[in-house]
Amino acid sequence: MTDWVGRDEGPDGDRASVREAFSLLAHDIRLDIVLALLKNWAAVYTEPQSYSDLMDAVGMRDSGKFNYHLDKLRGVYVERVEDGYVPTASAVALYRTVLAYRPTEMATETGELDEPCPHCGGTLVEQYERSFFTLDCTDCDNWDLLTYVFPKNGLRNRAGQERYRAVEYRADYHTGLARTGQCPFCAGPVTFHFDPEDVEGTPPLVGITCDTCTWHVGVSLLTPLQFVPRVAAALVDLGIEPPVVEADNVVEMAAEIRSEEPFRVGLDITSEEGTATIVVDDDLDVHSVDVRTDG
Ligand SMILES: [Zn+2]
Ligand SMILES: [Zn+2]
């Protein structure tokens, strides 16, 4: 089985195979076949369509011509199974992505929000451009700043706090999954970047990039770690309920690179209740969690 969109082939090979895959759809009969398969798609419960049913669905009588186009789609958008044909995962992924980001006029009006900044009471401004949602506070534009790719579909029926929380949650849960070594979009391996200036900055930051599909985030070191149960338990001991984006009660966050070989970073989270120290390695695996509460 060839990985027709895999980056291992090198950029030129990638572009050629992606171009080939996209160009397959530039034909009415092939497009009708893919759409007929997607119409009955029901995840694992999808009933395969027989050769003749599929031919009927696209209104064709010429078996030779039909077969020619069906054959071109095989492996890329159409898979032959025991009882007929089903769409491939890439046909489904393409379909879902188009639904998520489909161009419509709805719900993209943005600007100043009625509710105040949860951190400083200042003015919140939201923007939606090129499928990226951005939230800025005009008064405290440092650590609560948010920019993340967000499907336009998710803006529908949401406004104000509910809307930006939805974007925050999506970004946070994606980084939680990435911490386990898996890209939230393509499931490929990810790389963690510990730039000393970022790690030891305020707030402490870590970069995570996907080696395959260009997904990239720069986030608070605590954001991906809050999904580790013992880190979450330590935060609760400090009176901070994960996800931390909701919490106003983090008094201070500071991190330092403690050693290079083996690589260790210590992160201190301080609230009114006390301090938690979380030690991680260069894969963001948690080595220890210590909580010191006052009193
Ligand atoms: Zn603010
Ligand atoms: Zn990826």
pLDDT value at residue 274 = 94
pLDDT value at residue 1 = 30
* 149 CA to centre of ligand 2 in angstroms: 14
pLDDT value at residue 110 = 72
Give the closest ligand to the alpha carbon of residue 210: 2
* 62 CA to centre of ligand 1 in angstroms: 65
* 259 CA to centre of ligand 2 in angstroms: 29
* 86 CA to centre of ligand 2 in angstroms: 25
Give the closest ligand to the alpha carbon of residue 7: 2
Q: What domains are there in the chain, each with its CATH number?
A: 7-101 (1.10.10.10)
One digit per residue, the tens of pLDDT, for the chain of length 295 reads: 333 444 444 545 566 688 888 999 999 999 999 999 998 888 888 899 999 999 999 999 999 999 999 999 998 999 999 999 999 988 999 998 888 888 766 555 678 888 888 778 888 888 888 888 988 888 876 545 688 999 988 888 888 888 888 999 999 999 999 999 999 999 999 999 999 999 999 889 999 999 888 899 999 999 999 999 999 999 999 998 877 766 667 888 999 999 999 999 999 999 999 999 999 999 999 999 999 987 6
Q: Burial level of 179, CB count in 10 A (0-12/13-18/19+)?
A: buried
pLDDT value at residue 84 = 93
* 181 CA to centre of ligand 1 in angstroms: 32
pTM: 0.80
